[in-house]
Amino acid sequence: MALLALGLILGLLAPVDAAERWDGLRALPRVALEVTVSPVHADLTPGELRRRVEDVLSQTQPAPAIDARTADRLHLTVAVRSYSSADLRGFYLPFSGFYGIGPVRLAVERPALLPGLAAPTLVQVWQAERQAKGRWQNSAAEILEMTGEVLASFLADYRRALGP
């Protein structure tokens, strides 16, 4: 059992061939867009993030078109939470602040028929993630910056998937 667990861990840590990273993006002319922000951020709404992603995709070519009717989905997930320095440190210090910590993840989810299942299920075929780790009052700007970074990574891999 321990050997199986070790094999799984090493398999997850093994470097992914660059071609495999964008292989799931082939034949992706349209995507539905989903934005999830949990917990709710006081200074940034899912609508603002959605507009940011839509703007980048509409201004960049090549890029998949946004179409809510397609089964392929581009999913932006923001899970940045506020932590007090006392939470992080384990004890209170005066004049301590709050920090925004958590992932900003962009994933492409496509339907796939898996053995043993009667109907297709959504599987992640590509993802990029950045970790927010700054002061809470700057977290909205940091989330927007990281959203731009994961979108740039997606578009670079999308271009490679299309080929020459």
The pTM is what? 0.81
DSSP 87-153: HHHSS--TT--EEEEEEEEEEEEEEE--TT-SS-EEEEEEEEEEEEEEEGGGHHHHHHHHHHHHHHH
pLDDT tens-digit map of 109-162: 998 888 888 888 888 999 999 999 999 999 999 999 999 999 999 999 999 988
> According to the model, what pLDDT value does residue 8 have?
43
What is the distance between the alpha carbons of residues 159 and 140, in angstroms, rounded to a whole number?
29
Burial of 39 (0-12, 13-18, 19+ CB in 10 A): exposed
- Fold for 19-162, please state it: Double Stranded RNA Binding Domain (3.30.160)
Residues in the chain: 164
pLDDT tens-digit map of 26-81: 788 999 999 999 999 989 999 999 999 999 999 988 999 999 999 999 999 999 99
> According to the model, what pLDDT value does residue 20 have?
56
In the chain, where the domains are located: 19-162
